Structure 1
Amino acid sequence: MNETVGRRKRSLSGLLLHAAAYAAALIFVVPLLYMLFTSLKPQGTAVGSIADRFLPPFSLENYAYIFENAPVIKWTMNSLLIAAIVPVLSLTMASLAAFALSRIPFSYSKFAFWFILSGMMIPGEATIVSLYMVVNRMGILDTYLALILPGLAGPLGVVIFKQFFDRIPGELVEAAKMDGCTLFRIWWNIFIPLSKPIISALMIFAFLGSWNDFLWPFLSIQSEELFTLPIGIPFFMSSYTQDEALPMTVNAYASIPIIVIFVIFQKYIVKGITLTGIKG
């Protein structure tokens, strides 16, 4: 009898848990559907209620319009360029720094690690003014370098790589040294192959961060031909149209790469959340 009651309680709790999960998913999906259906509405269509957004007529003319009247392709290429270069270079630097902290003994190595770790407590907005002054003095404002260089130094990758490298057996390193491997070859031939799950997760997070970055490109770029999509979208909204359909069209277009990446690499994203301890 008690076992039957226990099973019923577990079944009821599981049902409530699934219902809550589906309700939470619906909260996130509805805005995406609203954006998609609004982007398919012809310009100037009279809308009396929110429900009208999900009803015909539908058309692809808005997508044709944004490609004809705004340099969306150029903005997309800029975003892809930055989102491809920054993750590769930043993770390379982070893994090298972590390798040095983990396997190369030097004075104040612990202090260096805790100093890097403390950088995670400082929000990026707090350093934006000093960063702007440094980039301005370097004379690289309004260039691709202004978009790439500031994103190369991040504490998160160093901390995660370092914690992972510390768990790699020292016998592997000693055996490699006996075979005549240099430190660089040990890093490249042993530590990097073993770090593929870490690299995959961090690469995705770095790509998403670079793709969605708004504040720094907004401050450092003035030329329209260097705009990324997060900067070009507000520019399009203010310069080309006041109609709601077209801004939603640009936003829907900009969301496509993120949605595709999430669908393809969702298991790595979950693994990355587990590894980094991020709580949503």
Structure 2
Amino acid sequence: MANKKVNKTKLLERNRDPYHGIKVFIGFFMSIVFIVPIIWMLFVSVKPNGFTTNQPLEWFIPPFTLFNYWNLIAESLIIRWLFNSFIVAVITTILTLIITSLAAFAISKMKFRFRKSIFLFFLIGLMIPGEATIIPLYQIVKSMDMIDTYAGLILPMIASPLGVIILKSFYDGVPKELIESAIMDGCSYFKLYYKIVLPLAKPAMAAICIFTFIGSWNNFLWPYLSTLSETLYTLPVGIPVFNSAYTQAYVLPMTANAVASIPVIIAFFIFEKQIVRGISFTGIKG
């Protein structure tokens, strides 16, 4: 009965919305705009190498072959680039979660001098575009001999002012009575962080985890500047380098793009609910 009432309520809300049909049409149109290039990429990636045509529909009809994928793996370092992207994204995400959660907890729940000034510093850091810090960041990494290393790829990317701000605002919502009672029971700050505050912050942590991983996976500028050898390239850097050798061909570049895209597409279908919740939680639209 409860489900029927909920369904009836949703139907009434849809009937009351005069723009419901327009919203559905726009959503359907936008989904087509995004899905068609992906479908075209997948079909082109399984055409015979060297295939060309002036008729767009011929890309979607046989013959098809999977030999391009084996040829791509044999002739390029794409598996290595895939591994590099995964390792860099995972380690960057883990370190970002640890550092941002600890920093946000200290600013929110620990009383010390210049606490508000430090939080203001994070707000200012959020307003500065990342491109403005590239040159000094590169000079610092170079002076520490971390160019063309995994450390040079990972460590400069773990600073996340947005993560600190999101978690700080979430920690501020934890009831003071809960914190005070835990301290009166002899709970240290670390136990307070680990056993009480952190479990309550799972939605915020999940949102930061998702966006940090996606941002690291898609990051091009810093890996491009900080790597010299092809064995350390990530996918956003390696794919354009590989495609530059096939300026007149379609098939192998599309195969490379498919290999780079398929893991992300699979991950999206697996974590679709978490990604949508993360977008809703942070209030980010786009």
TM-score range, shorter chain: over 0.9
Aligned residue identity for 2:110: I
Give the CA deviation at 1:108.
2.0
CA contact (8 A) 2:104 2:165 kept: yes
Match of 2:187 in 1: 181
Mapped to 1, the partners of 2:13 and 2:99 lie a distance apart of 53
Match of 1:166 in 2: 172
Match of 1:102 in 2: 108
Mapped to 2, the partners of 1:46 and 1:279 lie a distance apart of 39
Mapped to 2, the partners of 1:221 and 1:110 lie a distance apart of 38
The TM-score with structure 1 as length reference comes to 0.93
Mapped to 2, the partners of 1:41 and 1:10 lie a distance apart of 49
Structure 1 unmatched ranges of 5 or more: 1-5
Give the CA deviation at 1:60.
0.8
Residues paired across the two proteins, number: 275
Aligned residue identity for 2:193: W
In the alignment, which of 192, 201, 221 is matched to residue 195 of structure 1?
201
Match of 1:57 in 2: 63
In the alignment, which of 85, 88, 93 is matched to residue 82 of structure 1?
88
Match of 2:252 in 1: 246
Give the CA deviation at 1:7.
10
In the alignment, which of 163, 168, 177 is matched to residue 157 of structure 1?
163
> SS in structure 1 opposite 2:65?
coil
Mapped to 2, the partners of 1:224 and 1:7 lie a distance apart of 56
- Percent same amino acid at aligned positions? 49
Match of 1:20 in 2: 26
Mapped to 2, the partners of 1:132 and 1:54 lie a distance apart of 45
Is 1:137 the equivalent of 2:137?
A: no
Give the CA deviation at 1:241.
7.1
Provide closer, same or farther for how the CA distance between residues 276 and 44 of structure 1 changes in structure 2, counting only shifts above 3 A: same
Aligned residue identity for 2:272: Q
Aligned residue identity for 1:115: F
Which deviates further from its counterpart, 46-55 or 128-137?
46-55
Deviations along 1:214-255, one digit per CA (max 9) or x if unpaired, are: 110000001111111111111211246742111111111111
Mapped to 2, the partners of 1:76 and 1:7 lie a distance apart of 46
Match of 2:50 in 1: 44
Mapped to 2, the partners of 1:221 and 1:8 lie a distance apart of 53
Match of 2:78 in 1: 72
Mapped to 2, the partners of 1:8 and 1:188 lie a distance apart of 44
CA RMSD between the two structures: 1.9
Is 1:215 the equivalent of 2:221?
A: yes
The TM-score with structure 2 as length reference comes to 0.91
Provide closer, same or farther for how the CA distance between residues 68 and 160 of structure 1 changes in structure 2, counting only shifts above 3 A: same
Mapped to 2, the partners of 1:279 and 1:82 lie a distance apart of 26
Aligned residue identity for 1:70: S
Aligned residue identity for 1:255: S
Provide closer, same or farther for how the CA distance between residues 167 and 7 of structure 1 changes in structure 2, counting only shifts above 3 A: closer
